[in-house]
Structure 1
Amino acid sequence: MLDIVGLLQSEKTGFTRSEQALTGIVLADVEGVLKMSIVDLAAQAEVSPPTVTRFCRRLGCDSYADFKVRLAQSRFVGQRYIAPSSGPTSVHDIAQGVVNGIQSTLYDSFEALDFDAIERAAEALAASSFVLCFGSGGSSSMVASEAEARLFRLGLKVTSSTDHQVQLMRAASAPVGSVVLAFSLSGNNLPLARALAAAGEYGTTRLVVSRAGSAMAEQADVLVPVFWRENQDIVRPTPGRYAFLATLDILAQTVAVRLGSRAIGSMRRIKHQLVINRDGDDAQPLGD
């Protein structure tokens, strides 16, 4: 789908004076332009209707009608990015907004936690022969890597992957007793969903941490749903990753408790080596 708004924003400096006039009107009032006839737009830009038609064709549209259809689609996809509302500008206000958003996200996600699902996921991980942690994209990749770091300390055999093709291959070749632990903030990661479908074909247990009702959720043997409210401030990083990290920490500690002495023994060996070789301080985090 052609992104008309994005194209106008990136190419406007290379347009003719008439095209720049049309571009300015479109970007200033997308909704208004969608209601205009070609004659109305031409009059407002002080150009001729044929100039508007040539402008539309330069943008890859067949006609003014086609231009309006594509403009409507582009507007629908990223309305908040066309006319973003003003947000905080001082460091103090930005910091307050970020911290408040994180706190609200953590409280919201806790209230929506499915404790039974976390218990079943933890039991599957504790009984697994091998754990495959999958995620891709920004936050989901980070959470998948973090899951590997949380679980190997407990004595589990675990690896993480953020590459879709590698995920598909690992899903197809996972040994008996393996568990896939997959993360997706959006839930609409279709290549990862296909890797999960392949894992299911071979009987691998699939634990999915994602939005309920999503493409990822449909592939879950155990779904651990995560809920949060997304920012309205488009320049503030998503607080969703904190909801996922908190859910992962809850899951990891539940696994550790279920494993008992096995997990404690592995953690003690790691701490022994860190104290001897790193800082001599038993109070430091376990390898962080």
Structure 2
Amino acid sequence: MARKAETAGTRGALPVRGRSGVADLIPVLRDHDGKFAAREQKVANFVKENLEAVPAMTIARVAQGADVSTPTVIRFCRTLGCEGFREFKLRLAQNLAVSRQYLHPDHTDAATPAEAPLERVLDAMYATTAALRQQLDPQMLIQAGQRIAGCQRLVAAGIGGGASMLADEAANRFFRLGIAAASASDSYLLQMRAATLGPQDVLLLFSSSGEADATVAAARVARGYGAETICFTRAGSRLARACSLPFGVILPEDPDIFKPTASRYAYLAALDALALTVARERPDQTRENLRRIRASLTAYHGHTDPQPLGD
């Protein structure tokens, strides 16, 4: 037992055979030289030198290239937590598919003047909002606004950085209009909230991919209980198909990996348009709510100068 514990300790962060392996194989291959058994290290070296080609190779070809036996290749795969060579190849291919632009960056974008980053961000914002404008159906926007204006409760939800920010902003927009609104970005809480919604309620979902399991599952649960399910997401995605009123769009993204995604500006513009639609559906309630908010804030900080009425 002590011998086994010592051997395991020498392998650092490497996964244990037979257990679920790491999701990203590339840093393990890159950063764990010397932590594999001697013959398995030969397989690791060969894979690192032929990353792009290995997913298309047979196990015999990898064994030949590494100058080891096929059982050694299988042991190497299991050291990484894979069931065998087939799972290893699949996982490596998936890693490469999403990692190429980071492993082989485009160096043609030379150093730019100090003001260039702002121009890049604004150009991308204009492009993505222009694409949204062409794809968003005004009649659907009115329909969604009417559903929200007449609802008893609204839950806005999104999983991940941009989507969760949009969910919080949606709750922030709609409570000002007198609507009982809450946001959720935790997957378990989202499922629970979805299960409490009924025919007089709305679930508003945001997802740039439309493939997050948590949002798709929540849409199906809420819709099953009769709630209106509205989403802003990628056209043709699982989430778009799961919702009763989907706003499906295809938005361009800048290939610059260092620049934050521009699609969130488009979704934010769509949310503001929806909030404006809802406000116009219930003008008296909205006007009184905003008046109360301004009055309470003036009493709180003492400023009476002009401020954004919607905020």
Per the TM superposition, whether the score is higher than 0.5 is: yes
Q: Percent identity of the aligned residues?
A: 34
Contact 1:129 1:157 in 2 (8 A): yes
Match of 1:49 among 68, 71, 78: 68
Match of 1:237 in 2: 260
Contact 2:43 2:62 in 1 (8 A): no
Deviations 1:171-222 (A, max 9, x none): 2223551111111111112122212211112211111111121111122111
TM-score, normalisation: structure 1: 0.83
Distance (whole Å) between structure 2 residues aligned to residue 65 and residue 254 of structure 1: 53
Match of 1:119 among 117, 126, 142: 142
The change in CA–CA distance for 1:177 and 1:73 in structure 2 (over 3 A counts) is closer
Alignment size in residue pairs: 283
How far did 1:144 drift?
Answer: 0.6
Match of 2:181 in 1: 158
Match of 2:95 in 1: 74
Q: Larger deviation: 117-126 or 257-266?
A: 257-266
How far did 1:279 drift?
Answer: 4.6
Pair 1:222-2:245 in alignment: yes
Secondary structure at the counterpart of residue 210 of structure 1? strand
Match of 1:45 in 2: none
Secondary structure at the counterpart of residue 225 of structure 1? strand
Distance (whole Å) between structure 1 residues aligned to residue 55 and residue 158 of structure 2: 39
Secondary structure at the counterpart of residue 179 of structure 1? strand
How far did 1:242 drift?
Answer: 0.8
TM-score, normalisation: structure 2: 0.78
Provide structure 2 residue ranges, at least 5 long, that are not aligned to the other structure.
1-20
Secondary structure at the counterpart of residue 32 of structure 2? helix
Distance (whole Å) between structure 1 residues aligned to residue 194 and residue 94 of structure 2: 37
The change in CA–CA distance for 1:272 and 1:103 in structure 2 (over 3 A counts) is same
Contact 1:102 1:239 in 2 (8 A): yes
Distance (whole Å) between structure 1 residues aligned to residue 146 and residue 271 of structure 2: 14
Shift >6 Å, 4+ stretches? 16-22, 62-66
Match of 2:232 in 1: 209
How far did 1:97 drift?
Answer: 2.0
Match of 2:121 among 98, 102, 106: 98
Contact 1:271 1:282 in 2 (8 A): no
Match of 2:106 in 1: 85
Q: Larger deviation: 116-125 or 88-97?
A: 88-97
Match of 2:167 in 1: 144
Contact 1:131 1:157 in 2 (8 A): yes
Secondary structure at the counterpart of residue 248 of structure 1? helix
Q: Larger deviation: 199-208 or 243-252?
A: 199-208
Contact 2:24 2:95 in 1 (8 A): yes
The CA RMSD measured in Å over matched residues stands at: 3.1
Provide structure 1 residue ranges, at least 5 long, that are not aligned to the other structure.
43-47
How far did 1:62 drift?
Answer: 7.0
